[in-house]
Amino acid sequence: NKKSTTTWTTSDNRIIKTIYPPSEKLHINIPNGKIRAAPFKLQAENVNTPSTTNETNKIVEQNNYANRHLQTLDSQLSQIEIMIQKTNDEIKTKIQKTKSLFTPHTIPQTQIKQLQKQTLNEVNQRLQELIIPDTPSSSS
């Protein structure tokens, strides 16, 4: 089995081990270094000021966080799909193993009734052929 937890580094350098990213600022390692990711950001308090690089960076950090979260969900779904596929394969194998090697011969109902009639007739005939000795009568 794959490990199910990931080690996350928060922006204040705390280490957290969870399956999904924690709901706080993170540092995400990439080949060229680290990037910042944050689940939530507040808009600048003064809405009349034009957007600044800082505001754009906040959006980028949120996108980074959302993308990392999506990657984690994708990984979890892939693991679940693999587990389901393995389970389905095991079930198919068990079903194949439990199939009988041959199908027993079945006798149709009409033939069974005919055989019963024949047997009854034969029993009746043999009963009639029996010689029953005379029983002595009682004399007074």
Return per-residue pLDDT of the chain as tens, 140 residues: 456 788 888 889 999 898 888 888 888 888 888 888 888 776 666 666 667 888 888 888 888 888 888 888 888 888 899 899 988 888 888 777 776 777 788 888 999 999 999 999 999 888 888 877 676 666 55
Residue 119 CA to its chain's centroid (Å): 55
Query: Is there a contact between 27 and 12 (Cβ–Cβ < 8 Å)?
Result: no
Residue 46: the pLDDT is 65
Is 128 part of a structural domain of the chain? no
Q: Is residue 116 part of a domain?
A: no
Q: Domain for residue 117, yes or no?
A: no
Confidence at residue 37, expressed as pLDDT on a 0 to 100 scale: 86
Total of domains in the chain: 1
Residue pair 62/41 in contact by the 8 Å Cβ criterion: yes
Does residue 112 fall inside a structural domain?
A: no
Token code pair at residue 8: 């996350």
Domain extent for 32: 6-91
Q: Is residue 25 part of a domain?
A: yes
In a domain, 134, yes or no: no
Asked, for residue 27, whether it belongs to a domain, the answer is yes
Are 21 and 5 in contact by the 8 Å Cβ rule? The answer is: no
Domain presence at residue 17 = yes
* pTM reported for the whole predicted model: 0.46
